[in-house]
Amino acid sequence: MKIIDKEDLDSFVADMIEKGEKEVVGVQEKGHKYAFQELKRAEDLRLDYDVTMLPPKKYFMPQREDLLEYEKDEDLSLEGVNEVVPRIIIGIHPYDLIAIEQMDRVFSDTYEDEHYLKKRKESVLIGVNMQEVSEWSFAASMGTATTDYGYDLMLTDLGDRYAIEIGSSKGSDLLERYCVDLKEAKSEDIESVEREKEKIKESFEKEFEFSPESLPWLMEQGYEKKEFWEEHAEDCYSCGSCNLVCPTCYCFDVQDISDLSLGGGKRTRKWDGCLLESFAVVASGENFREERSERYRHRYMRKGKYLYDMFGDIACVGCGRCSSHCVPDIADPTVVFNELMEEVR
């Protein structure tokens, strides 16, 4: 563990921006909320934020990205496209780091998706332990309020200085290249970091009434509780907001976009959401998840069981973005899962 004074962290960040070897992204204020955005000035960085509107997955799986280009003259030519911007992303909370780890598994399983993996490989992740907790978050219940992995560097605010934990060679390289005034952490610094972590775990208002390890079991028991799902989904707009803000949602749709000449164009993928009505429609017109309650249930099943079955991860990291963005306020996982537990017990 290293220690850096707060003003030295500012110059570390300023140096990365100035040298411009990689694009520097940091959490900044946007309206009354926070967002990951390109950082132009070190002083715009806000490491005391509660939660960002969108998770940092947008840098590895952009809202819209080109997969290939085609040209149709005499012959058809198809060429893969992968626009990779190497980035240093500063200020990622532990739950988002864990979500990125989960996405890494999804995109490297069986068929390796280089569109995601290359962007990921070219990025450096600087995490920060939470100082503020969103009123919607329940990360402590999910075991994601702190993390020992998933970062290249991890910052903890210790008042007038930051502790820096080094998670990878990418992280130590970054310190060597840009950072001048590093001190070795003393044993009291290490203790302070542990105290900060423990303190943050106690700061959550929302919580699960059971261990998340029970989720796969709970979802299996709860699948057939039709009335429960119908009741909870009754006010669902099928808008897909919960999907779009979720750090572990990765489903996508693919579209071709033709040039005006019609002679060529691009194939792009964009975020899709399983709450949207058309998600499971096939060519014949059949919709395999026609009812709102089926789509609503599907999303919770994905989070609590399906992705666990496939990759071994509970695919909810407790950030609370889904519930905070849900207009009819029916997407709070703590409410849904806790009530489902009541129902099946």
Partner 1 sequence: MSAEESIYLPETATIVDTKEMTEREKLFEVELDSGEELGHEPGQFVELSIPGIGEAPISVSSAPTKEGHTFELCVRAVGNVTNALHRKEKGDKIGIRGPYGTSFPVEELEGRNLLFIAGGLGIAPLRSLINYVIDKREDFQDVNILYGCRKPCELLYEDEVEDWRTNDELDYRETVDECPDDVCWEGNVGVITTLIPGVDIDVENTYSVVCGPPIMYKFVLQELEEKELPAEQIYLSMERRMKCGVGKCGHCQINGEEGEYYACQDGPVFNYADVQGFEEAI
Which residues of the shown chain bind partner 1 in the complex (CB under 8 A)? 67-68, 70, 72, 75-82, 106-107, 109-115, 220, 223-224, 250-256, 258, 262, 265, 267, 269, 272, 274, 279-284, 286, 288-289, 298, 301, 305-306, 309
Q: Are strands 64-72 and 76-80 parallel, antiparallel or unpaired?
A: antiparallel
Phi, psi of 39 (to 5 degrees): -100, 120
For residue 67, the 8-state DSSP code is E
CB of 230: closest distance to partner 1 in angstroms? 14
Q: Nearer to partner 1 by C-beta: 28 or 293?
A: 293
d(CA 49, CA 16): 21
Residue 254 or 327 having the CB closest to partner 1: 254
Contacts of 94 (CB under 8 A, 6+ apart): 127, 129, 130, 139, 144, 145, 146, 147, 150
Q: What distance in Å separates the CA atoms of residue 142 and residue 145, rounded to the nearest whole number?
A: 8
Nearer Cβ to partner 1, position 159 or 285? Answer: 285
3-state secondary structure of 314: coil
Nearest residue (CB) to partner 1, 90 versus 219: 219
Provide the minimum distance between the beta carbon of 103 and partner 1 in the complex, in angstroms, as a whole number. Answer: 11
Instruction: Check the CA dihedral 124-120-246-241 and report its sign.
Output: positive
**Nearer Cβ to partner 1 (93/292):** 292
Measured from the CB atom, the residue of 247 and 265 that comes closer to partner 1 is 265
Beta carbon of residue 60, minimum distance to partner 1 (angstroms, whole number): 13
Q: For residues 187 and 284, which CB has a smaller minimum distance to partner 1 in the complex?
A: 284
Q: CA gyration radius for the chain?
A: 22
> Least distance to partner 1 from the beta carbon of 229, Å?
12
Of 110 and 169, nearer to partner 1 (C-beta) is 110
The residues, ordered by sequence, that sit 6+ positions from 273 with a Cβ below 8 Å of its Cβ are: 240, 242, 243, 244, 249, 251, 279
The nearest distance, CB 78 to partner 1, in angstroms, is 6
Residue spans of beta strands (DSSP E) within 39-160? 64-72, 76-80, 87-92, 123-128, 153-157
CB of 312 to partner 1, least distance (A): 15
Q: How far is CA 51 from each of CA 28, 30, 61, rounded to the nearest angstrom?
A: 11, 12, 19
CB of 282 to partner 1, least distance (A): 5
Structure tokens at 115: 């569109």
Identity of the amino acid at 238:
S
Find where tokens 């998933």 sit. 150
Instruction: Write down the least CB distance from residue 249 to partner 1, Å.
Output: 9
